[in-house]
Chain A
Amino acid sequence: MSVTAETHVHDDHDVHHHKETFVTKYIFSQDHKMIAKQYLITGIIMGVVGIMMSLMMRMQIAWPEKPNVLFEALLGKWAPEGVMDADIYLALVTIHGTIMVFFVLTAGLSGTFSNLLIPLQIGARDMASGFLNMISYWLFFLSSVIMILSLFVEAGPAAAGWTIYPPLSALPMAQGGSGAGMTLWLVSMAIFIASSLLGSLNYIVTVLNLRTKGMSMTRLPLTIWAFFVTAIIGVISFPVLLSAALLLIMDRSFGTSFFLSDIFIQGEVLHYQGGSPVLFEHLFWFLGHPEVYIVLLPALGITSEIIATNSRKPIFGYRAMVASILAIAFLSTIVWGHHMFISGMNPFLGSVFTFTTLLIAIPSAVKAFNYITTLWKGNLQMNPAMLFSIGLVSTFITGGLTGIILGDSALDINVHDTYFVVAHFHLVMGISALYGLFAGVYHWFPRMFGRMMNKNLGYLHFWVTAICAYGVFFPMHFIGMAGLPRRYYTNSNFPLFDDTTNTQVVITMFALVGGAFQLVFLYNFFSSMFYGKKAEQNPWKSNTLEWTAPVKHIHGNWPGALPTVYRWSYDYSKPGHEEDFVPQNVPMKDGEEELQH
């Protein structure tokens, strides 16, 4: 099987090699492959912090106000004699959410795989602007550092929830975390948004302009479609969050009243007049809801690629998959109000948002059924990446279905802000996107590091994680339906909810086991980086272009000319071919038809 690139087009790109120093190669690198690794490692570190926080919260909920040596060690003054303080509980809620949503599942997932795969899968030498790409990573790094630093401020880190609704987030007298902690949170997020915008613009330009010869939009792998559309949603919605953050900074520091009005707190009337917290909610969720899909779409794109490759079958309904990505992206920008049914906005708006929200179920259902049909009559190679992809489809269905309840304004009245919501969004975007991240790491690890991850450790990691994820979040729906509000430091002041306490303990047990087994992944990841089995060029026998590049990373990705593309990326088990895969750079045989639509 010849997968070498054609040599008749000579590209002069590859002849000039810059001298690389340690700093330009590993730190201020402009190479997309190195930047992808930087994103991934930073994301993993942030993920460890975020998951540790969730475990501390789970321990507090299961054994409220009990001394815990871990709290004493990790929280210091916030856990006098090992008993967690109520303020720090809310801070953990806030920072866990922020870190997981933005730093792990947006930057860690999109940043890693968009950077790694866009140039490699479309056949480009690098991103359109390597320099902006480098700036994008370092801004992300800076924002991560500021977010972590905010944990150590005197009055405590931001504690108003990841949604930072004013006035709670605007008034330092409303809670300790709304002082310097919130300032740092806002600064960190503003920098994060700048980083995300630079990255997204780069992705969009690269996909539009740098596709190799023959790589039409309809031959793009679904990964690229997902990253491309994600970047567009990001460019549309992130600036709105930036403006909300800037207006909030104005309210906090310069006495404006965008979001504040008629406030009496700690014995005095404040001067604010005429603003509305509901305005902030609109601005926040105009990003906040698309953000769900910024997190989810790349995971779905990764899954599409991995399921097709490991099923040795074309992805079923390529056009429908692209159409559903576009439909989800479009709808995602007009459903934000379903977070606000009971915010005091006009009930008629609630009806409109119920309608648009439930429409999202249609493209989502198409995606789920297409994945299932892709498995049908396949020849499934159960690599760890494949297991995580199947796991993603499973949690995407379980979590997505309860969206039908939460998106329905009448039903939302009673389960809004209860544990039902926590269960829903953790399954459908948290766990699903995390599975997408894991799947991507297992699948493209050889491409990133030239070595294989250990598959048996991968199996162990997947099965324990899968069981624990359901063990944590499935029963959680039921305590939500019992009316238990989320973000309560302890439920012991409500005897009404005493019958949920045993379930809380079970959930925490699953969470602790699941959390501990992520160490298996960390071990596998870091040890395989240095001691893993050396990878072949195309270990999964995949069709996409990244596997035609040499294992050892080189600047410009391909020696000699760029590969030319003759077919879509899903010619798996195509009749008339000996092998069960036909890479995209293999020319059509005489009389062979391009069978994608």
Chain B
Amino acid sequence: MTTLLIFIIVLFVAVALWQMVKIFDLAQVGASNDNQVATDKDNRFNGYMMIAFLIFIYAITIASFVYLGDLPLMSNSASEHGPGIDNLMVISMIVIFFVQIVTQFLLHYFAFKYKGEKGRKALFYADNNTLEAIWTIIPVIVLAGLIIYGLFTWNDIMNIDESEDPMVIELYAQQFNWKARYGGEDNVLGKANVRLIDLDRANILGVDEDDPNAKDDVIVTELHLPVNRPILFKMRSQDVLHSAYMPHFRAQMNCVPGMVTQFAFTPTVTTAEMRSNPDIQDKVANINALRLDRKAEIEASGQDLTYEFDYLLLCNKICGKSHYNMQMKIVVETQEEFDAWMKEQKTFENSLN
């Protein structure tokens, strides 16, 4: 019944809109018996609108920077390679906004300036090789710079230097949660395959029980990282594609069933240090003020009302119904804190039933 009522209401609204448009339409008829081709008056009106629209574009740009400019992750990266990406991002952004402002100005200003008038003839101007060479070569030079900078940055990030003795951690994805597996004291991950999963024995990651390297592996649901130590992540998935996205560390890699992917970075800022960063404190205060407005709703959903900053690992590849809630907390801490935490964890050998 409600469905029917709603349909009728929507229908009425649509009909009302239709009628309003029709009235608008009919009101025009008497005004002129024109043939629906733009007149000088239309050209003038739309010419001025072009300038108004140009101002609108600039305004929304400025407003976005003023109100949303502190949202971007362009500062406060928490990994060694982070500032490299952020610099490249800032440089690209400067280039983009420069080109955007200039070209949009030319486009809309010309549309205004050369609005049509009866009797005027346009300039017959079909070609100019010099001009075209200029706007081919300038983008070539700028892009060459961006490509070279980008490729160096990319190679720095993706070329994993095994000689730095990185700590090896497996990130394991399944619908809809994350696990992490540490190599243990030998820092070597035991062999694993989904065919070895034995839920009765609580071997949920399919780690090979016969592999001696596996015995001291540690499987956890909260990712702890020692600060300033290179970490080599090996990603696995047991069911569908997932993506391990760690935005604060400028890190992301897909988890692909049937293969092991990898990504390495060195965290440089502990969770405690990041929490005391003034930018982050502002952000957290802002978020908490907003949360206070939605107090009832948040408490009803069972979340803590007060938000405290934490690094996060998010799933960033569509993976099914609860994709929107597939996350794992990341804690970056000093080596001592990390060792103390690690000592409390059960090894794989001891975790089996």
Question: What residues of chain A lie closer than 8 Å to B83, measured between beta carbons?
Answer: none
Asked if residues B114 and A377 are in contact (CB atoms below 8 Å), the reply is yes
Determine which of A265, A460, A470, A536 lies in contact with B35 in the assembled complex, contact meaning CB atoms within 8 Å: A536
Question: What residues of chain B lie closer than 8 Å to A537, measured between beta carbons?
Answer: none
Question: What residues of chain B lie closer than 8 Å to A410, measured between beta carbons?
Answer: 84-85, 88, 150-151, 153-154, 157
Asked if residues B256 and A379 are in contact (CB atoms below 8 Å), the reply is no
Contacts A265-B175, A265-B238, A573-B124 known; A382 to B46 CB distance under 8 Å? yes
Asked if residues A380 and B155 are in contact (CB atoms below 8 Å), the reply is no
- What 0/1 readout, one digit per residue, does chain B (45-76) give for beta carbons within 8 Å of chain A? 11101100100110011001001110111100
Consensus secondary structure, chain B interface: helix
Q: CB-nearest residue of chain B relative to A534?
A: B35
- What 0/1 readout, one digit per residue, does chain A (152-187) give for beta carbons within 8 Å of chain B? 000000001100011110010011100000000000
Any B CB within 8 A of the CB of A479: yes
Nearest-neighbour CB distance to chain B for A475, whole angstroms, equals: 5
> In the complex the two chains form, what is the Cα distance from A416 to B321 in whole Å?
21
Determine which of B35, B125, B314, B322 lies in contact with A485 in the assembled complex, contact meaning CB atoms within 8 Å: B314
Nearest-neighbour CB distance to chain A for B145, whole angstroms, equals: 10
Contacts A378-B122, A456-B25 known; A408 to B88 CB distance under 8 Å? yes
Contacts A317-B127, A375-B114, A493-B327 known; A390 to B150 CB distance under 8 Å? no
Contacts A265-B238, A362-B140, A377-B123 known; A488 to B99 CB distance under 8 Å? no
Nearest-neighbour CB distance to chain A for B88, whole angstroms, equals: 6
Asked if residues B318 and A413 are in contact (CB atoms below 8 Å), the reply is no
> In the complex the two chains form, what is the Cα distance from A267 to B116 in whole Å?
71
Any B CB within 8 A of the CB of A295: no
Any A CB within 8 A of the CB of B166: no
Any B CB within 8 A of the CB of A12: no
- What 0/1 readout, one digit per residue, does chain A (432-475) give for beta carbons within 8 Å of chain B? 00000000000000000000111111011001001100110011
Any B CB within 8 A of the CB of A253: no
Binds A, one of B101-109, B208-216, B217-225, B333-341: B101-109
> In the complex the two chains form, what is the Cα distance from A365 to B136 in whole Å?
7
Any B CB within 8 A of the CB of A24: no
Asked if residues B6 and A70 are in contact (CB atoms below 8 Å), the reply is yes
Asked if residues A596 and B61 are in contact (CB atoms below 8 Å), the reply is no
Asked if residues B146 and A260 are in contact (CB atoms below 8 Å), the reply is no
Question: What residues of chain B lie closer than 8 Å to A519, measured between beta carbons?
Answer: 14, 17-18, 21
Asked if residues B73 and A414 are in contact (CB atoms below 8 Å), the reply is yes
Excluding A165-B240, A410-B85, A454-B28, 7 further A-B contacts by CB distance (< 8 Å) are A86-B324, A90-B321, A267-B199, A456-B28, A459-B45, A494-B312, A527-B25
The 10 A-B pairs at the shortest CB distance, nearest first, are namely: A261-B258, A483-B247, A347-B158, A481-B72, A382-B46, A452-B36, A344-B261, A482-B71, A478-B68, A488-B324
**Sample (15) of A-B pairs whose CB atoms are under 8 Å apart:** A72-B2, A261-B257, A263-B238, A366-B136, A370-B132, A372-B103, A404-B95, A410-B84, A414-B247, A416-B252, A474-B60, A478-B72, A520-B21, A572-B124, A573-B122
